[in-house]
Structure 1
Amino acid sequence: MKEYLTIGEVSRMKGVGIKSLRYYDRIGILKPAYTNPKTGYRYYSIEQMLMLDMILLCLGLDIPLKEMQEYMDEESHLDVKSLLEDGRRKAEEKAKKIQETLSQIDGLEKRIKGSDEIRKRGRDIYDKYIGERAVIALPWEHPAADDKAYMSEITKLYSLSQELGLTVFYQQGLIRYRKGEKDLYYIFMEIQQSDLKDPRIFYLPEGMYQCSVSDETRIEEGNTVDFDEEGLIVETDFYFDRQPKDKYFLELQILKGIGSGK
C-alpha cells in the first residue's frame, strides 16, 4: 500500500488544525488521497502538500477558499501560475497599504513629539517651522463651527483621495487664504506628495508660522489679522501625547512674514 500521511501528521507538519483540514475536504478543495472505509480516517499523499501550500497562500492573501475552484480545470489540475500571479498582485496591494499606514503613523508621531515640546514650554503663542504640505482641498462655505458640515466634507475628501489613489495623513482642517481683498476658505486633508495633477491638490508653503492651540475654532476670528494683499491661516487638528478623550484641540497657524506674524 502506498505510504500516506495521517491527518494528524499533516496538521503538525503544516500547522493547520484538523478541523480546517476536514473543512477543506467538505468544500472539495483538498480531499484526502485515501479514506479508510471502516474507520473513516483520512490520509493524504506527499503530492497533496503543494495544494495545501496554495490553500494557505490564499488564506494569507484573503482569497476566499471557494474561489480556488476557479483555478482548477475539469480534471482538478491546479493552475499554479495564475494563482501565484493573482497572489503577487494582492500581496503588493497589501504591502502598499501597510506602507501607507506606516507613513501615517510616522506623521502622527512627529506631531505628537512637537506637541509635547509645546506643552513643556507652557506658552500660549509660539513660533514653529512647518515644512511644505501637500493637501487635497474643497471650497468651504459654512461656519467653521458647523461640525455636521465639517464631517460631511471631510468624508468627501477621504473618498476623493481613495478614488485618486492618494495616501492621506492624520491632519485635516480649514484654510483661509487672502488674495488681494478677497478671503478664500477651503477644507483640507493632508496627503502624501504625489505627481498627480489635479486642481484640488495644492501645497501649503513651508515657513515659520505663529501658532496657538485651543479647544475652539478661531479661524474666522483670524479675520482680525492685518493682511496686506496676501496671507495664509491654517487651522488643523492637534494631538497631545496624552490626548483627553472628551476634548478636541485645534492649532491655529498664521504664516509669518505676511500678516501680523511679521
Structure 2
Amino acid sequence: MKEYLTIGEVSKMKGVGIKSLRYYDRLGILKPAYINPDTGYRYYSIEQMLMLDMILLCLGLDIPLKQMQEYMDEEGHLDMKGLLKDGRKKAEEKAKRIQDTLFQIDGLERRIRGAEEIRNKGSDSYSKYIGERMVIALPWNHPSTDDKAYMSEVTKLYSLSQKLELTVFYQQGIIHHRKGGEAKSYIFLEIQQTDVKDPGIFSLPEGTYECSVSEDTRIDEKAETKNQPEDLLIVETDFYFGKQPKDRYFLELQIYKGKDGGK
C-alpha cells in the first residue's frame, strides 16, 4: 500500500488547521488521496503537499480559494505557470501597498518630531523651512467651518488618489492663494512625488513659512487681513502630536514668506 500522511500529520507539518484541510476538501481543491472506508480517516500523499503549498500561497496573496479551481483542468492538473504569474502580480501589488504604508509612517513620524520641537519652544508663532510638497486638490468654495463639506471633499480626494494609484500622506487641509487681487481656495491631500498628470496635482513651493497652531480654523480671517501682501499663499493643515488628545483637533496655519524668508 502507498505510504500516506494522516490529516493530523499534514496539519502539524504545514501549520494548517484540520478544519481548514476539511474545508479545502469541500471546495474540491485538495481532496484526500485516500479515505479509509471503515474509519472515515483522511490521508494525503506526499505529492499533494505541493498543492497545499499553492493553497497557502494563494491565502498569503489574498487570492480567493474558490478561484483556484480556475487553474485546474478536468483531470485536476494545476496550471502552475498561470497561478505563479497571477501570484507575482498580486505580490507586487501587496508590496507596493506595504511600501506606501511605510512612506506614510515615515512622514507622520517626521511631523510628530517637528511638532514636539515646536511644543518644547513654547512659542505661539514660529518660522520654519518646508520643502516642496506635491498635493492633489479640488476647488474649495465652502465656509472654512463647514465640517460636513470638508469631509465630503476629502473623501472625494482619497477616491481620486486611489484611482490614480497615488501614495497619500496623512496630511490634508485647505490652501488659500491670492495673486493679483484674485483669490482661490483648494482642499488638498499631500501625496508622494509622482509623474502622474492630472489638473488637480500641483506643488506647493519650498521656503520659509510663518506658522502658528490652533484648534480653530482661521484661514478666511487671515486671507482677508488687509496688511497682508497682494500675493499671498496660506496653507492650513492637520497638526499631530506624539500623544494626540482624543477629543481635540489641531491645525497648523502656514503663511508663505518665500525662499529667503521674505527678506
Question: Is the structural similarity TM-score above 0.5?
Answer: yes
Equivalences for 1:169-188 in 2 at 5 Å?
169-188=169-188
Please give the per-residue CA displacement for 1:20-78, whole angstroms capped at 9, x wherever unaligned: 11111122111111111111111111111111111111111111111111111111111
- Which position in structure 2 is the counterpart of 1:238? 239
Q: Show the counterpart of 1:224.
A: 225
8 Å CA contact 2:207, 2:258 repeated in 1: no
Which structure 1 segments of 5+ residues have no match? none
Using the alignment, how far apart are the partners of 2:151 and 2:192 within structure 1? 21
AA aligned to 1:216 is: D
- Aligned mates of 1:23, 1:233 — CA distance in 2: 58
Number of positions where the alignment pairs a residue of Structure 1 with one of Structure 2:
261
State the one-letter code of the partner of 1:186: Y
Contact 1:254–1:261 (CA<8 Å) still a contact in 2? no
Question: Contact 1:134–1:204 (CA<8 Å) still a contact in 2?
Answer: yes
Identity of aligned residues (%): 77
How well do the aligned residues superpose, as a CA RMSD in angstroms?
Answer: 1.4
Which residue number in structure 2 is paired with residue 100 of structure 1?
Answer: 100
Mapping for residues 117-156 of structure 1, pairs under 5 Å: 117-156=117-156
Give the letter aligned to residue 255 of structure 1. Answer: Y
Partner of residue 48, structure 1:
48
Report the counterpart of residue 256 of structure 2 in structure 1. 255
Give me the TM-score of the superposition, normalised by structure 1. 0.96
Code of the residue aligned with 1:239 in structure 2: it is Y
Unmatched 5+ stretches in structure 2: none
Measured against aligned partners, the alpha-carbon deviations of 1:110-157 in whole angstroms (never above 9, x if no partner) come to: 000000001100000001110100001111111101101111111111
- CA contact under 8 A between 1:178 and 1:227: conserved in structure 2? no
In the TM superposition, residue 226 of structure 1 has moved relative to its aligned partner by: 3.1
Q: Kindly provide the CA deviation profile for residues 199-247 of structure 1, in whole angstroms up to 9, marking residues without a partner as x.
A: 2100000001100000000001112163443221110010111111111
Length-normalised TM-score, structure 2: 0.96
SS in 2 for 1:256: strand
